[in-house]
Amino acid sequence: MARLHHNETPAAPAAASGVPGARASLATVRAAALRCRACPLWATATQTVFGEGPEHAHDMLIGEQPGDNEDLQGHPFVGPAGKLLDRALAEAGIDRSTLYLTNTVKHFKYRLRGKRRLHARANAAEQAACRIWLDAELARVRPRRIVCLGSMAAQALFGRSFRLLRERGRWRELPGGARAFATVHPSYLLRLRDPAERERAYALFVTELASLAEPA
Ligand code: URA
């Protein structure tokens, strides 16, 4: 497929998103998401990074958007933030392979500095356009528990008025019966410069994740 240069404008999104009907399997949805043109991010990304994990996982983790490594490899949480998440999950006694891991936005967004691709946050329109895929994943996986990593995921699930610092770690009941809470994104932990603060924040993150070690 032809790739555009980063600052070229892609053609108007073709026939919107193409989300398969409610009876389509997760595999069918995933295949359709690979062709998504619902927002312009497809044009500069390498590929759609769809969620991964058991089709009926009890627990789902929702991140923000793929980074450089995820974009190149096509899998969620395989870069530095993913490595930190893996470590925290292991310390919390949780086997990553039992979780369904996904992102709020399924394409990498970046700006170029020289040859480097620097992460850029997906805007509200891009987040809204991608919502169809998260909804399709939620409807098929039907997790009992959800953890939102960072405010983008938390606001997608709980609404724009959600404030992470005020409400992190607090379980909420969702329509349909699943329970969910939000915590910080592992990239936030990677950005903390002060070692003592980073240690404290990481320990709290592990404690919050550990609530998934209990049976769902
Ligand atoms: N950050 C995210 O939110 N998701 C990824 O998959 C990687 C980094």
pLDDT digits (tens, 9 = 90+) for 28-52: 999 999 999 999 999 999 999 999 9
Q: Is 80 exceeded by the pLDDT of residue 63? A: yes
User: Is pLDDT larger for residue 60 or for residue 2?
Assistant: 60
pTM here? 0.92
Query: Can you give the pLDDT at residue 6?
Result: 44
Q: Is residue 5 part of a domain?
A: no
Q: Is residue 21 part of a domain?
A: yes
Mean pLDDT of 79-97: 98
Q: Is residue 7 part of a domain?
A: no
Q: Is residue 25 part of a domain?
A: yes
Distance CA 157, CA 160 (A): 9
| Ligand 1 center–CA 168 separation, angstroms | 19
Q: Is residue 1 part of a domain?
A: no
Q: Is residue 3 part of a domain?
A: no
Query: Can you give the pLDDT at residue 184?
Result: 98
Q: What is the CATH number of the domain that holds 102?
A: 3.40.470.10
Confirm or reject: Cβ of 102 under 6 Å from ligand 1: no
Q: Which residue range(s) make up the domain with 105? A: 14-213
| Ligand 1 center–CA 214 separation, angstroms | 25
Query: Can you give the pLDDT at residue 216?
Result: 86
As beta bridge partners, residue 180 has 146, 172
From residue 20, alpha-carbon distances to 30, 106, 133, 141 in Å are 10, 17, 10, 15
Query: Can you give the pLDDT at residue 18?
Result: 86
Confirm or reject: Cβ of 143 under 6 Å from ligand 1: no
Total of domains in the chain: 1
Q: Is residue 6 part of a domain?
A: no
From residue 126, alpha-carbon distances to 8, 36, 188 in Å are 17, 12, 21
Percentage of residues in the chain with pLDDT exceeding 70?
Answer: 92
pLDDT digits (tens, 9 = 90+) for 149-192: 999 999 999 999 999 999 999 999 999 999 999 999 999 999 99
Query: Can you give the pLDDT at residue 17?
Result: 61
Q: Is residue 33 part of a domain?
A: yes
Confirm or reject: Cβ of 100 under 6 Å from ligand 1: no
Query: Can you give the pLDDT at residue 16?
Result: 52
Confirm or reject: Cβ of 79 under 6 Å from ligand 1: yes
Residue 172, C-beta contacts closer than 8 angstroms, at least 6 positions apart? 158, 179, 180, 181
Q: Is 80 exceeded by the pLDDT of residue 88? A: yes
Q: Is 60 exceeded by the pLDDT of residue 7? A: no
